[in-house]
Amino acid sequence: MERCPIYMEKKNLTGVSEFLLLGLSDDPDLQPLLLGLFLSMYLVTVLGNLLIILAVISDSHLHTPMYFFLSNLSLTDVSFSSTTIPKMLGNLQTHSKSITYAGCLTQLTFFSLYACLESLLLTVMAYDRLVAICHPLHYLVIMNPRFCGLLILVSFSISLLTSQLHYLMVSQLTFCAKVEIPHFFCDPPLLFNLSYSDTFINNILIYFIGAILGGIPLSGILYSYTRIISSILRVSSSGWKYKAFSTCGSHLSVVCLFYGTGLGVYLSSAVSSSHRKGAVASVMYTVVSPMLNPFIYSLRNQDIKSALWKIIIRRT
């Protein structure tokens, strides 16, 4: 969308009654198909991640740091998906594209919160695997319950601070009376582009925050796996190597899925002028990644499968 002409009345965000989310497609024939598809994916996401949490809670054998972090990741995945998909489903069902300014601010705040928290949790889980494989004799001493809780608290605090920075940056912007967002959720970089304000500093700040909160965790993950692979290769036992690789394989798959799709979307948006294509690509890390995470962990993890079977047998 083009910026407001200079002669049009400017309104601050608090004076704008609503925004319009253009969604993934304008074709009315596709709306029922999109509604059914994303409703199914959302239900699978919620059910799959809640089953992981239930399995960890119900089985005492899973009361370990690794599964403690996994249950927090599953809770974050459910929350992450819930910030965008329910509103999109509501708009598809009612054939509406509107979102209130307060709803837009709330959505982008929680989206930033859970996206950052997901990144930090993946880093914490990589560190957990590093300690388990490189320092197995001191694992329970280092990864004690108090330290694990502190890692979650610090991750949440950093994510909360980041989300508040995004909120403050967007809340100071000036818009036209009518704003059309070529996306299915309120993405801060898009709102900067649609603003009538000078957003040069905002763009620098948001990319700086993204580089810090994306680059540092990713560097930590790469460092952890460099140490892990080095330790595994020094061991002669093939059985131990297989077990170590299998415990790390699920986490590494989730890392590649989340960072690969997320970085791909934002790098492509930087060189492409098509916001609608960027919205379609965003489905990968906002919808598909949280949906696949439970399958990745449950299919490759015998402990999770055993806990789920115990729940099923107990219920039947």
The full set of domains in the chain, from first to last, is: 15-315 (1.20.1070.10)
Residue 10 φ/ψ, nearest 5 degrees = -90, 145
What percent of the chain clears pLDDT 70, i.e. is strictly above it? Answer: 90
Structure tokens at 84: 């965008």
**Summary count for the chain: helices (H), strands (E):** 12, 5
Q: Mean pLDDT of all residues in the chain?
A: 85
Task: Provide the H-helix boundaries in 64-187.
Answer: 65-82, 85-94, 101-134, 139-142, 145-171
pLDDT at 25: 80
What's the rounded mean pLDDT across residues 203-213? Answer: 85
Residue 303's pLDDT band, with cuts at 50, 70 and 90, is confident
pLDDT at 78: 96
What's the rounded mean pLDDT across residues 260-284? Answer: 70
Closest CA to 124 of 96, 93, 159, 89: 159
Closest CA to 175 of 18, 20, 16: 16
How much is the pTM? 0.89
Residue 15's pLDDT band, with cuts at 50, 70 and 90, is low
Residues in the chain: 316
**pLDDT tens digit sequence for 95-128:** 888 898 889 999 999 999 999 999 999 999 999 9
**pLDDT tens digit sequence for 172-200:** 888 876 788 888 899 888 888 888 877 78
Rounded to whole angstroms, the Cα distance separating 306 from 281 reads: 35
Residue 238's pLDDT band, with cuts at 50, 70 and 90, is confident
Residue 281's pLDDT band, with cuts at 50, 70 and 90, is confident
Rounded to whole angstroms, the Cα distance separating 296 from 12 reads: 45
Would you say 164 and 4 are in contact if contact means Cβ atoms under 8 Å apart? Answer: no
Closest CA to 178 of 107, 103, 101, 109: 101
**pLDDT tens digit sequence for 139-158:** 999 999 999 999 999 999 99
Closest CA to 13 of 194, 159, 145, 185: 194
Structure tokens at 159: 């994510």
pLDDT at 272: 57
Amino acid at 23: G
Would you say 282 and 264 are in contact if contact means Cβ atoms under 8 Å apart? Answer: no
- Does residue 208 surpass a pLDDT of 70? yes
Rounded to whole angstroms, the Cα distance separating 147 from 127 reads: 12
**pLDDT tens digit sequence for 20-48:** 898 888 888 888 999 999 999 999 999 99
